[in-house]
Amino acid sequence: MTAQTYLAYDYPLLSAFWTMLWFFLWIMWFVLLFRVVLDIFRDDALNGWAKTGWLIFVIVLPFLGVFVYLIVRGKDMGRRERTQAHAQQEAFDSYVRRTAAGATHPSSADELTKLSELRTRGDISDDEFRRAKELVLAGHGAGAGASAGGGPGTAPGPADH
């Protein structure tokens, strides 16, 4: 038989299982190492020297450094991660609220389109359209024309004709 044939017989299923287990543990170790390093930089309670000391300890003696860090400071790692996630969620929610609030105010083009439709239907006169258009273009909005008498959305009175 050739060498390739012997390889299949010399590598039992249990060996494949142990290889996969060690590979999985190795990946988990790197995930844990990176989480510890990120937590060192995330913690505002540590000053620069303490962060440097922990980082050197974790890099020079990685297994011992990570295990000691988890024993000494591991209890607060979850709290710091939740605090950061909460702050990110609040920032996102605030951004969404600001963006949505900006979308509720119609643009000048939208207001002019509505004014044009009102004039086309005969709800406002040409003079009322001209005054409301001037207000929209000046940045005061069409709502200000309504309070001045005879703006959009109001029925034309006898004095408007």
20-55: per-residue pLDDT in tens?
Answer: 889 999 999 999 999 999 999 888 888 999 999 999
52-75: per-residue pLDDT in tens?
Answer: 999 999 999 988 999 999 899 888
Mean residue pLDDT across the chain? 79
pTM: predicted TM-score of the whole model, two decimal places:
0.50
Residue 95: Cβ-neighbour burial (10 angstroms; 0-12, 13-18, 19+):
exposed
Confirm if 136 and 129 have CB atoms less than 8 A apart. Answer: no
140-149: per-residue pLDDT in tens?
Answer: 654 444 444 4
Residue with tokens 């005879």: 150
Q: What is the mean pLDDT of residues 95-123?
A: 81
- Residue 161's pLDDT band (cuts 50, 70, 90): very low
The pLDDT value given to residue 107: 74
3-state secondary structure of 124: coil
Long-range contacts of 121-130 (CB under 8 A, 24+ apart): 123/152, 123/153, 123/155, 123/156, 124/150, 124/151, 124/152, 124/156, 125/150, 125/156, 125/160, 125/161, 127/160, 128/152, 128/156, 128/160
The pLDDT value given to residue 140: 66
DSSP label of 25: H
